[in-house]
């Protein structure tokens, strides 16, 4: 029987994937305190942190067991990424639950009657094209800028939440967004892409 404490994370993952359950126990023991504290520092609620912590390791177990773990990166960075995504999902779920519904019993939005106005189909098609063009441009941004744009516009996180999740100051998060917008405008000009209706 091998001594799991001397193995690297990647060796432990390989051993676990091959059926050695003790290897995963060692991974859990090695990283649980730091990972839990990271999650708790983000969500500020020990019960929620515990739920996210457990779900993180369940996702890791399933991914490794299904042979979908990509060992090009480090295990610890991968497990933190899973946790961060679950934290983002939790923020998003809270926002949805805390929003008042403006729909009537038939699911019709009471504040937006534009669906009944002229030109809606054309406006929708133009909007979809702009959205598609914008997403294509966003993929070409540097990673740090792309991450801020994604979290702000596609996940509806505040700059305070973005700063906490990415481990930077609010000013740095705002700066990255500013540079992202400047880059998007430049790329749109160079390619004659319109970003407004």
* CA–CA gap between residue 48 and residue 99 (Å, rounded): 20
Token pair, residue 12, equals 């432990």
Q: How far apart are the first and last CA of the chain?
A: 66
Q: What is the pLDDT of residue 181?
A: 87
**Angle at CA of residue 79, ends 75 and 81, nearest 5°:** 115
Count CB-CB contacts under 10 A for residue 115: 9
Reference 85, options 46, 62, 44, 56; nearest CA is 56
CB 88 within 8 A of CB 155: yes
pTM greater than the 0.85 cutoff: no
Q: What is the pLDDT of residue 33?
A: 92
Q: What is the pLDDT of residue 123?
A: 60
Residue 65: strand, helix, or coil: helix
pLDDT in 10s for each residue of the chain, 197 residues: 568 888 999 899 999 989 898 999 999 999 999 999 888 888 888 999 999 999 999 999 988 888 888 766 688 888 888 888 888 888 777 665 555 444 444 444 444 444 444 455 556 556 666 777 777 888 888 989 988 988 887 777 888 888 888 889 989 999 998 998 888 888 888 877 766 65
Domains and CATH numbers, the chain: 4-96 (1.10.1740.10), 119-190 (1.10.10.10)
Residue 8: strand, helix, or coil: coil
Phi and psi at 68, nearest 5°, equal -100, 5
Q: What is the pLDDT of residue 36?
A: 92
* CA–CA gap between residue 95 and residue 89 (Å, rounded): 10
Q: What is the pLDDT of residue 121?
A: 54
Count CB-CB contacts under 10 A for residue 184: 19
* CA–CA gap between residue 127 and residue 10 (Å, rounded): 45
């Amino acid at each position: 029987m091998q001594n799991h404490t001397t193995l690297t994370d990647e060796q432990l993952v390989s051993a676990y994937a091959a059926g050695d359950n003790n290897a995963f126990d060692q991974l859990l023991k090695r990283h649980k305190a730091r990972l839990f504290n990271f999650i708790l520092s983000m969500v500020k609620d020990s019960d929620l942190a515990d739920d996210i912590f457990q779900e993180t390791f369940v996702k890791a177990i399933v991914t490794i067991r299904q042979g979908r773990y990509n060992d090009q990166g480090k295990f610890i960075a991968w497990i933190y990424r899973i946790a961060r995504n679950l934290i983002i999902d939790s923020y998003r779920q809270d926002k949805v639950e805390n929003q008042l519904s403006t729909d009537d019993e038939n699911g019709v939005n009471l504040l937006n009657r534009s669906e009944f106005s002229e030109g809606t189909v054309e406006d929708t098609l133009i909007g979809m094209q702009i959205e598609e063009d914008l997403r294509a441009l966003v993929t070409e941004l540097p990673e740090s800028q792309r991450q801020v744009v994604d979290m702000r516009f596609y996940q509806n996180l505040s700059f305070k939440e973005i700063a906490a999740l990415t481990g930077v100051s609010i000013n740095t998060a705002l700066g990255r967004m500013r540079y992202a917008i400047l880059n998007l405008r430049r790329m749109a000009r160079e390619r004659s892409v319109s970003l407004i209706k």
